[in-house]
Amino acid sequence: MVVLHAFSDFIDCDFAVSDLSPSYWYEGHCLETGVGVARTSTSLSDRRRHRLRLPRTSMSEAIAHGLMQQLAKNDCYSHEGKMYGILLVELPNGEQRVLKAFSGLLNGCSVVEGWIPPIPGRDEVAFEEARTLSELDAIKQEIITLKQLPERQQYQTLSDEFERQLQAMSDRHRHCKHQRQEKRQQICNTLHPEALTIALEQLDEESRQQGIERRQLKRQQNAVLQPLRQLIAATDALISELKQQRKALSRQLQAQMHASYSLTNFSGRSLSLQQLMPEGSPTGTGDCCAPKLLHYAATHNLKPLAMAEFWWGASSVNQDKIPGEFYGACAERCQPLMGFLLSGLRPNPPAPFPAREGGVRSPSPISGGVWGEVTLPIIYEDEWLIAVNKPAGLLSVPGRYRDRQDSVLSRLRHLLPDGMALASVHRLDQETSGILLLARDRQTHRQLSQQFQQRQVHKVYEAILSGVAIAEQGVIDLPLWGDPENRPYQKVDWQHGKPSLTNFQVIAREQDYTRLEFTPLTGRTHQLRVHAADVRGLGITILGDRLYGCDAVTSRLHLHARELRFEHPQLEKPLHLQAITPF
């Protein structure tokens, strides 16, 4: 089976790389030089020395885009959303080739012509896997049947009808009670004592009869609904039991697979997933693109040069994966394996720290900031705050789910001695690059947050639109509202939307594109992206913004937080930060 592909299978032979800077690093601590040093040492130089890295470059992204175009031509790749990946490798003779992989199964198959095979071990448990999957499917179907129990709808219908009757009765009784109170006041002033006593007893009897009427309806309600409640409760208990069985079967299968799966690194060392993650690992570990690609390269004497992973097909269940977008190693399944998989590759030498004057770090074009990496340069630092030039593709803060924990905040918290005290003052979209401000203590965080809330922070973004804008400058004022059916998508909503205001100024028009500055006066989610894309704004999407309809093939979202101007809360002087636009 042919799995080594030529560049020309994906890109034109005359493709030229315009940007040599990596947009993301796959990384892990070298296991051959002592994990303990990398994990426990407070020396940043020690941490950097033992880190192994593999980049995602413009070339690997271009190859990935070529693969996307191939996938788009075949509908079978569009129905099931999953991660795909490519690995640029060098053969022993110096030639460069491309490997491609998919996560999990592709249309129910683990081995597909032209794609690298799964990590060894799946075949050993194939029969057991098929049997267990059949049992799991049977359990799933039984749970679905039990959830569709006809008595559930019957119970709901009857319950609603009784509630309606009780409400109508309560309204009628309340009206009668009010009439009785008025009648008591009238007869107390008009009837003789003997007649008054009889009249009051009649009113009290009417009240008692209404109480009896209500209790009878409640007893009837209980007599009708109680058997249904018991049946539904017994069914729910059975569903819970089936879910426990399903969970136990899944764990059993996963344990068997992980004991059989064997990963090999570039030192020639092989370990099972069970050995690598003895405390357990989530379903699907070992079936992701990155481990499959690196294992194959290590076992076939291929030197990895660059890798890129992207999502294709339907959006993920949680709507956090967008078709055509690049993603890094997932925190839950892949990242824990990176240190082992990359071991045997020669670690990159640590880059020197940039010069520091008056608390300011000047970023280097190759490295910068605490990590000595191009991906996270620090552009300003003092004892109260840090400003970094966030790369596109990296979250500002950890996400809600376990596979979205890698972020600027989590990285700095991991590496800085005072990192756990850090707090992000504001956020940038994952695909937006530029200045991100973090506070090193609570007081500074509170003071900076107040400046943002009171719109005292001057922000300038630079963007490229995927079309030619007619207006030279202007103001966009559109209310934004999150679409609950399509998160994180935002839309213009005049009834529920929150006010959002943006100034814009065209910088240049370049062929079929427009370069311009955005100055947001509010800070709504996706504000600039919606103001650009919506016909009531500019009506032109930002280049690379697939979420809002841009279909151009490009490596990133062309939106960059270029400038940030505010008053330093402790030094009490203006601070003007700038980050050069990378596109």
Looking at residue 483, its amino acid is D
Give the residue-averaged pLDDT of 257-266.
Answer: 76
Question: Is the confidence at residue 161, as pLDDT, over 90?
Answer: yes
Average pLDDT over residues 296-323: 84
Task: Using the predicted structure, report yes or no on whether residue 36 has a pLDDT greater than 50.
Answer: no
CA distances from residue 498 to 454, 456, 524 in whole angstroms, order as listed: 16, 19, 8
Once rounded to an integer, what is the mean pLDDT over residues 269-282? Answer: 74
Please, what is the average pLDDT of the chain? 83
Confidence of residue 39 (pLDDT cuts 50, 70, 90): very low
**Above 60 in pLDDT, residue 277?**
yes
Residue range 355-369: average pLDDT? 33
Per-residue confidence (pLDDT) for residue 360, from 0 to 100: 36
Q: What is the mean pLDDT of residues 268-283?
A: 74
Start-to-end CA span in the chain (Å) = 40
Residue 38 confidence (pLDDT) above 80: no
For range 19-23, the mean pLDDT: 62
Res. 377 pLDDT band, cuts 50 70 90: confident
Indicate whether 356 pLDDT > 70.
no
For the cut 90, the answer to whether the pLDDT of residue 421 exceeds it is: no
pLDDT score recorded for residue 109: 83
Are 344 and 268 in contact by the 8 Å Cβ rule? The answer is yes
How sure is the predictor about 261, in pLDDT bands with cuts at 50, 70 and 90?
A: confident
pLDDT band at 278 (very low <50, low <70, confident <90, very high): confident
Residue type, 324: G
For residue 280, the model assigns a pLDDT of 63
Least confident stretch, 108-117, 212-221, 271-280, 331-340: 271-280
Query: How does residue 146 score in pLDDT terms, banded at 50, 70 and 90?
Result: very high
Distance CA 11, CA 9 (A): 6
Please choose, from the candidates 370, 376, 395, 284, the residue with its C-alpha nearest in 3D space to the C-alpha of residue 334. 284
CATH topology of domain 455-583: Pseudouridine synthase (3.30.2350)
Percent of all residues in the chain with a pLDDT value above 90, rounded to a whole number: 46
Q: pLDDT tens-digit profile of 379-392?
A: 999 889 999 999 99
Instruction: Give the pLDDT of residue 240.
Output: 92
pLDDT at residue 221 greater than cutoff 90: yes
Phi, psi of 146 (to 5 degrees): -65, -35
| Least confident window among 65-69, 92-96, 250-254, 461-465 | 250-254
Rounded CA separation 59/276 (Å): 32
Domain 351-454 part of CATH 3.40.50.300: no
Q: At 53, is the pLDDT very low, low, confident or very high (cuts 50, 70, 90)?
A: confident
| Residue 120 C-alpha from the chain's centroid | 30
> For 525-576, what is each residue's pLDDT tens digit?
999 999 999 999 999 999 999 999 888 878 899 999 999 999 999 998 999 9
**Residue 503: predicted pLDDT:** 96
Q: Evaluate whether 351-454 and 455-583 have a shared fold.
A: yes
Q: So what's the pLDDT on residue 364? A: 32
- Which two structure tokens, joined as six digits, stand for 39? 């994990």
Please give the pLDDT value at position 284.
61
pLDDT at 49 over 60: no
Q: What's the pLDDT score for residue 238?
A: 94
For 210, residues 6+ apart whose C-beta sits below 8 A from its C-beta are 173, 176
Which pair of tokens denotes residue 565? Answer: 């101007």
Lowest mean pLDDT among 183-197, 243-257, 502-516: 243-257
Question: Collapsing DSSP states into helix, strand and coil, what is residue 308?
Answer: strand
pLDDT higher than threshold 50 for residue 439? yes
Categorize the per-residue pLDDT at 258 as very low, low, confident or very high, splitting at 50, 70 and 90.
low
Q: Where are the domains of the chain?
A: 7-122+263-342, 143-256, 351-454, 455-583
Contact between 444 and 573 under an 8 Å Cβ cutoff? The reply is: no
Q: pLDDT value at position 121?
A: 64
**Rounded Cα gap, residues 144 and 141, in angstroms:** 5
User: Between residues 194 and 22, which one has the greater pLDDT?
Assistant: 194
The answer to whether the beta carbons of residues 356 and 379 sit under 8 Å apart is: no
Q: What is the pLDDT of residues 79-95, one digit of tens each?
A: 788 999 999 998 888 78
Active-site residue list: 429
pLDDT at 542: 95
Q: Does residue 73 carry a pLDDT above 60?
A: yes
Give me the pLDDT at residue 386, please.
93
Note the pTM of the prediction, 2 decimals. 0.45
Confidence of residue 70 (pLDDT cuts 50, 70, 90): very high
Q: What is residue 209's predicted lDDT score, i.e. its pLDDT?
A: 94
Give the DSSP H/E element, type plus range, for residue 552: none
